[in-house]
Chain A
Amino acid sequence: MNSTGSNNKQAQRKAAMTVLAHSAAVDIAGRLAAITLPSHENLREPENGLVMMRGRIGGDGAPFNLGEATVSRAAVRLATGEVGFGYTLGRDAEKAQMIALCDAMVQSAELSGEVEAKVIAPLRVAMNAERARKAAETAATRVDFYTMVRGEG
């Protein structure tokens, strides 16, 4: 694969991971139930751990350690060789496992279309709808200033 192709693939994997990390495990499981899962083995047993979260001084300066977060991760290998990784905030190791499986499928020429259409795309719609709902609620609290003329009010 040339470097543009691999960059595209990486961008596609990252976009899928974003959607999956934002989705509830039960919703991912529900979508995965609609497709035939390829045969696979665990390359890394799902496990819980921590990551140190970093911020930046002043928001845009040198990094500093803000505090930790729980994280789960897993890795799987399809019988056809693709290796998928799953990382997500929280302690739901099964969710990490499902993300890893999806990531492996995204890399498979035969499976990527199906996993995108039946798993990632509907979850993305739900994620965007949730974001839009929050944005609309927030927008209603925007202040519209007006200057009062003396004697008014």
Chain B
Amino acid sequence: MYVAVKGGERAIENAHRLLAHERRGDRDVPEVTLAQISEQLALGVDRVMTEGSLYDRELAALAIKQARGDMIEAIFLVRAFRATLPRFGATEPVNTGEMQVRRRISSTFKDVPGGQILGPTFDYTHRLLDPQLAEGFVPEQPETAEASQAATPRVTDILGRDGLIEPSPQADSDAPVGDLTREPLGFPADRDLRLQNLARGDEGFLLALGYSTQRGYGRNHPFAGEIRFGEVEVELFAEDVGFAVPLGSIELTECQMVNQFKGSTTEAPCFTRGYGLAFGQSERKTMSMALVDRALRAGELGEEVGAPAQDEEFVMSHSDNVQSTGFVEHLKLPHYVDFQSELGLLRKLRQEFAEANQAVELQEAAE
């Protein structure tokens, strides 16, 4: 328990003033603009949008600037901003099958219909620091080629045609969609809530959990069936307009993990799946999310449940870095009264210990 303490107002005010000064850094160095952050630190912006759970590049860039590059602090700022605006409704579910693809790869089929499209990727780079980038580097214009008109169907749709993979769970169109920003989290949680939780969950936490499944803590034999990144159209059914209104497009990354089989005496064996979806180009995040989504389905698929990544209460209660940081960092707040009582108790225990020892020593001396 912590208690409110008065008396630090001036120190706090001056500390914030010093923070603003340090945030600006050396004033002889030009100030970084939001456009520079949004354009040149784009993947950082994507992460803040995804875990801040708010798609707005400019706000995410502002949050990164205000937080001095501390991503979790930036995510916290974006979450807090959300609370200042009314919600107009929920969009129609986006159709990732109709994505204008900028990147699309499959590790399961070399000749996937629509092709393997690398797009802008760190893959196959040598991970050597590039001194050219230090200043004034002007990259070449990108190469172009004739765009194919061929469709790029989801790999899972292709496998699904032959029944080789389980179908996605369907829902009644009238069934409510779980929303953990509106109702407190309860367990067991349905998959819609789990995916919402994972989508805004900390990338590092999900990465570690996903990795743990690969190392044997809830192994589920994954293949990256498909990863795609690009733009999807967003529509909102607006009551006043009377039809689904186009809002523009957003960038999304989707990962379809294809995992080992399920089957029974009545059902032919088929691949199972894990799913990841996130704002922007967030490949590591969606891959980790898909691994953990699949791991959390262990019970439903009749697998032995025991590993951390398979424990939904453990995963969902600790995935949110704003909650986590809130509880960890609250330890910095004054706990003076709590601590005084612990100190009092400790002194008493030490006194009892000393008295007991003294008694023993006296007894030994007497004998």
Contact = CB atoms under 8 A, between A and B. Distances in A.
B184 to A, nearest CB: 15
A99 to B, nearest CB: 9
Contact of A65 (B49, B196, B254, B278): B196
12 contacts: A14-B243, A17-B245, A61-B170, A62-B191, A63-B171, A63-B192, A64-B193, A65-B177, A69-B91, A70-B56, A87-B236, A132-B147
B168 interface: yes
Given A59-B97, A59-B156, A89-B55, 18 more contacts: A50-B54, A52-B87, A52-B181, A53-B91, A58-B256, A59-B168, A60-B154, A66-B195, A66-B196, A67-B200, A68-B82, A69-B247, A87-B245, A133-B144, A138-B119, A142-B115, A142-B145, A145-B111
Interface in A1-56: 10, 14, 17-18, 21-22, 44, 48-56
Given A58-B168, A142-B148, A143-B118, A66 B247 contact: no
Contacts of B144: 133, 136-137, 139-140
Interface string A57-101: 111111111111111010100000000010111110000000000
- Chain A: number of interface residues, binned into ranges: 35 or more
B88 interface: yes
B102 A134 contact: yes
A60 B87 CA distance: 25
A21 B247 contact: yes
A131 interface: yes
A139 B55 contact: no
Contacts of A139: 117, 144-148
Contacts of A148: none
Which of B95, B179, B246, B279 has the most C-beta atoms of chain A within 10 angstroms of its own C-beta? B246
Nearest to B148: A139
Interface string B321-363: 0000000000000000000000000000000000000000000
Nearest to A61: B168
Given A85-B238, A135-B147, A18 B246 contact: yes
Contacts of B247: 21, 51, 69, 71, 87-89
Interface of A: 10, 14, 17-18, 21-22, 44, 48-71, 73, 75, 85, 87-91, 131-143, 145
B59 interface: yes
Nearest to A137: B142
Contacts of B216: none
A48 B87 CA distance: 9
Interface of B: 49-50, 53-56, 58-59, 82, 85-97, 100-103, 110-111, 115-120, 142-148, 154, 156-157, 167-171, 175, 177-181, 191-193, 195-196, 199-200, 233-234, 236, 238, 240-241, 243-250, 252, 254, 256, 273, 275, 277-279
A91 B62 CA distance: 14
Given A57-B169, A143-B115, A68 B53 contact: yes
B142 A59 contact: no
A61 B190 CA distance: 14
A68 B143 contact: no
Contacts of A52: 87, 89-91, 179, 181
A67 B75 CA distance: 13
A64 B180 CA distance: 11
Contacts of A138: 101-103, 117, 119, 147
B250 A89 contact: yes
A131 B231 CA distance: 10
A143 B116 contact: yes
Contacts of A54: 90-94, 177
Shortest beta-carbon contacts, A-B, top 6: A61-B168, A58-B168, A62-B171, A135-B147, A69-B55, A64-B192
A85 B237 CA distance: 12
A68 B10 CA distance: 38
Which of A10, A49, A56, A61 has the most C-beta atoms of chain B within 10 angstroms of its own C-beta? A56
Contacts of B50: 67
